[in-house]
Structure 1
């Protein structure tokens, strides 16, 4: 390969994968920077001999900081969103929805008539240093998968490994411990599994394996939001390579989701995988649009998730007032809950569909700002903690842990994690601190899993400082 061909190929990768800046487009050197990620041209051997290839090169230390940001951002968003979870679900008793005017006001009861114990005010919730973040269903199943991958030293979990992990680390309805939601409330058994996840756990206890646990004939709750909460992080285990990300996430998604709900879960996995490819020279709002539109390509055009995406994005783009997110949320309510358009049949506020549409409202109008996205997500309605936690994690990854702390203007934010609040049978990684783990240690273990994924699933390279992930050259 001559130098001019090498330069052309490198530029083509740069344009297609990273969307390089104008300066990088004019630079025909052998690499193009994109923050802690760069594309390098190299020689790779195949059966026919030496062929041109390229690698996305990712700095491990920087990636670890991003992973810590993922766990912290997800925890802040989860516990902030829990304050308004199911307060507003579009029924006559709970209309109108929250708006920006409600931020900082007293929280109203959820549809089941209760508030939450950690806050009675609609505002950002931050756990102070020294007090661990409590596990919740937005983070604890992902934690189980992190533990299983690391313990088993595998790049991809089998159905049997997933089943055994769930049975060991989650409670059944029978052996769950007593839990008091409020200091003066009666203790009840609580296994912190609901909807499709609860049904899947019952099926696994009977010996059934995924993907059968998400088949409609076995699990009538397969269309619920559950898989979104438990699988986004697989995209971070497979940076850049969407095909591998979808492959290792397939069985975890199919524990509890099928058909459109599985497509929606895949959408979030793709966004997390491509987060390492985004052009950091773009304004942060445009980075978010790019990630979302790239993930849109993985939806079936004929199904309602794709049509929801197109509707919400068009409504956002046509709205001249990008602060008025409420008008798009209200349009989602009208179109999908009331009119049941685009083949979507609304039945339950826990469904993947209505919450997917609501999540897109907060993603687009949040414009890449961590606080604003969490705020909008928390006020959007329906299962507000779940989409909000997803975006808090993704933006935490994009900004890194220092960026999250800077956004909240605080260094006094906890970085420890209490998995045994909801799950069981884990080692205590932080025996001198409350809780069992820290975001730094969790990120460190994720790096070792990514080593396996890069080498075994991507045929890439890993050393002490970086990964080199091969990408195909395309000169067409």
Structure 2
């Protein structure tokens, strides 16, 4: 925790400058530590079911088996692709300040990321080694995976350092998402960034979702997806499977071929929103539904458990 401390101080200063919200250093450190542990728990919990439930939702009970076996091998939690690039971004913040620029982030990517990245992240890294700079590394003209899930699963650190500052969290989340992604694929990242930032002060899941939605343009595709998730939750308050079928049909089965993928950003973002809605604020229920909803579910369980 020592190396994180300068960033915490900067975050406290930014919050104080607004004159509207205050959080003690002790509270801030506790919430960040709790959220990071939550990410680890959710990631390891969902890892066994990653990409396993596609055509149909999963059936419980769900366990830690696969993740626990890996933990035993390394004597502790480990970094998966849902909890890795945050370390890199933190290092860049420590080196250059809380607002590193694209050139500085590119430097960090090219030096520290060698392997074990996929899809939009892999394509962006390759483009960097060919001389491209962000945000061109995320442009759909160059990155064939611009529409995938990647930015929403490596973004939490930008909100950890923006407690109670959803405007800043939304802007920096979109900025970071453009390193690997383009167009509507950045929207779920913005939503999670806002929710994480606001969650330092707000515990009501529904309020968090509605606030985050308000940061997207009314014409935004993922905003419409969120509206549909909320409507389905109201229509089927006790049947998440019915809601899942509607969204899976829309965003996977009937998705245009060029962006049809089990790792599609909006598809997995929708599964995260459904897990939060049907989880009723209960962490175990939310995790189990997050696993059962399927697709790239260890991302959803990591993100929502941290939240």
Structure 1 or 2: more helix by fraction: 2
- Contact conserved, 2:173 with 2:189, CA < 8 A, in 1? no
- Contact conserved, 2:174 with 2:187, CA < 8 A, in 1? no
Q: Which residue of 2 aligns with 1:185?
A: none
* Per-residue Cα deviation, 1:154-208 (whole angstroms, up to 9, x for no partner): 020111110110111110xxxxxxxxxxxxxxxxxxx111000000001111221
* Per-residue Cα deviation, 1:93-148 (whole angstroms, up to 9, x for no partner): xxx3213xx3148xxxxxxxxxxxx835xx999957x9221111111101111121
Q: Which residue of 1 aligns with 2:83?
A: 139
2:138 to 209, 214, 223: 214
The Cα shift of 1:300 comes to 2.3
Q: In the aligned structure 1, how far is the partner of 2:68 from the partner of 2:269?
A: 22
Q: In the aligned structure 2, how far is the partner of 1:156 from the partner of 1:231?
A: 14
Q: Which residue of 2 aligns with 1:375?
A: 288
SS in 1 for 2:23: strand
Q: Which residue of 1 aligns with 2:269?
A: 356
- Contact conserved, 1:233 with 1:272, CA < 8 A, in 2? no
The Cα shift of 1:316 comes to 0.7
User: In the alignment, is residue 237 of structure 1 matched against residue 161 of structure 2?
Assistant: yes
Aligned pair count reads 292
Q: In the aligned structure 2, how far is the partner of 1:157 from the partner of 1:251?
A: 11
Q: In the aligned structure 2, how far is the partner of 1:125 from the partner of 1:335?
A: 36
1:158 to 95, 101, 114: 101
- Contact conserved, 1:210 with 1:251, CA < 8 A, in 2? no
The Cα shift of 1:345 comes to 7.3
Q: Which residue of 1 aligns with 2:65?
A: 119
Q: In the aligned structure 1, how far is the partner of 2:258 from the partner of 2:234?
A: 26
Q: Which residue of 2 aligns with 1:449?
A: none
User: In the alignment, is residue 75 of structure 1 matched against residue 75 of structure 2?
Assistant: no
Cα root mean square deviation, aligned:
2.6
Matches within 5 A, 1:70-469: 70-90=35-55, 96-99=56-59, 102-104=60-62, 119=65, 131-152=75-96, 154-171=97-114, 191-278=115-202, 287-321=204-238, 324-340=239-255, 347-394=260-307
- Contact conserved, 2:171 with 2:190, CA < 8 A, in 1? no
The Cα shift of 1:376 comes to 1.0
When the two structures are superposed, what TM-score results if normalisation uses the length of structure 2? 0.87
SS in 1 for 2:42: helix
Unaligned runs of 5+ in 2: 1-11
SS in 2 for 1:57: coil
When the two structures are superposed, what TM-score results if normalisation uses the length of structure 1? 0.57
Q: In the aligned structure 2, how far is the partner of 1:83 from the partner of 1:254?
A: 29
User: In the alignment, is residue 66 of structure 1 matched against residue 42 of structure 2?
Assistant: no
Q: In the aligned structure 2, how far is the partner of 1:241 from the partner of 1:368?
A: 22
- Contact conserved, 2:102 with 2:134, CA < 8 A, in 1? yes
Structure 1 or 2: more strand by fraction: 1
- Contact conserved, 1:85 with 1:385, CA < 8 A, in 2? yes
The Cα shift of 1:229 comes to 0.9
- Contact conserved, 1:224 with 1:261, CA < 8 A, in 2? yes
The Cα shift of 1:251 comes to 3.3
SS in 2 for 1:219: coil
Q: In the aligned structure 2, how far is the partner of 1:238 from the partner of 1:320?
A: 33
SS in 1 for 2:288: helix
